[in-house]
Structure 1
Amino acid sequence: SVQLEWSVPEGTFDSFTVQYIDVQGQPQELHFDSGSRTATVSGLLPSHPYKFNLYGVWGQTRLGPISADTITAAAPAQEEPPFPPRLGELTASHVSPDSVQLEWSVPEGSFDSFTVQYKDAQGQPQVVPVDGGSRTVTVPGLSPSRRYKFNLYGVWGRKRLGPIST
């Protein structure tokens, strides 16, 4: 929005009219009573140039305009996100013939969620979603005596951080 202010050094007007062109290129006209000396024009686009024309209306006569050129303020910046969280170590524990428990640390910050990825015995990629408050997950359905590589990603907002692996 823009606030316009004006003065009337002598005499009086019956009313005032403010004209401007909106962002669609359409002329807009606002009317104010004779006692007005300010006008707030809202619904404007941020960081956009506008020209406002003010007319004084006296009887059937429109006097003026006096003009003001301005550029509206920029939209408020989005709050800077905090520093991203950091993944620590990923370790495998409680290994059984068909499952493994993975544990990890988050030394800084917090994540919205985690994703564990690995390839099964047939070489097909598998994904295990984990909620952001967890620091451990058990991966079932593994084949005995087989080597697996597990990748853990942290999800923070729209970003995927990592992986850390074991």
Structure 2
Amino acid sequence: GRPQEIPLEGDVRSYDVKELRAGKKYKFILYGLTEGKRTKPVTAEISTEKSIPPRLESLSVSDILSDSLRLSWEVSGGEFDSFLLLYRDAEGKPKEDTLDGEQRKITIEDLKPGKKYKFILYGITGGKKSKAVTLETTTVPRKVVPTAASTLVTRLVNFKPSEVTKDSVTLTWLVEGNVPFEWIVLQYREPEGGIRELLIPGQDTFIIVQGLLPSQKYEFTVYGIKGNKRSESLSTEVQT
């Protein structure tokens, strides 16, 4: 609310006033000066646009393993200063993680197998919390090591890529049979040579694999698991 004075050169015909507050009414008074004397002023009243507050749109989970998982979220409108993630750790103690405002995903580690977790995420702006988004999920009960001989009648079919970018691929499949899978296993080899394995809930029929390298060929293999039995595997190759 303090008065501001800005001297301008005599040939200036426009000026950008910055660092104003959103949604606030301002009154501007302009004088011309000749030999130290003011002319009759002209005035203008202007209201700045209201800012669109940021809003958390969703919280989703991927890469669920027996001891870890990945959370990701989306924000609409403006930007948050930071995020606050709440959940209980493997011992049941409340845990708080403060995350940077530009962050959109986090990997949660040191979880217990087969345990249900509830995650609550807030956006923080000016020290105030936004409306929370929540998610409940369960870690994989155990490391399943099925034998290839113990196969299932239920099977996966039509395994293929549906969308490919320079660093990601969307893979889809269908399930045939009356016995639903508990888990679907996706495996692929990273450029460094390591094998990456993702466990996907048995009712899912697609996955978006991110973090790939551009202009690389990847081979993906998928099979379903029920108890200690596994389905026949399917494979497909993708070029990013």
Q: TM-score, normalised by structure 1?
A: 0.50
Computing the radius of gyration from Cα coordinates, the structure with the larger value is 1
Calculate the TM-score normalised by the size of structure 2: 0.35
Q: Which has the higher contact order (CA 8 A, sep 6+)?
A: 1
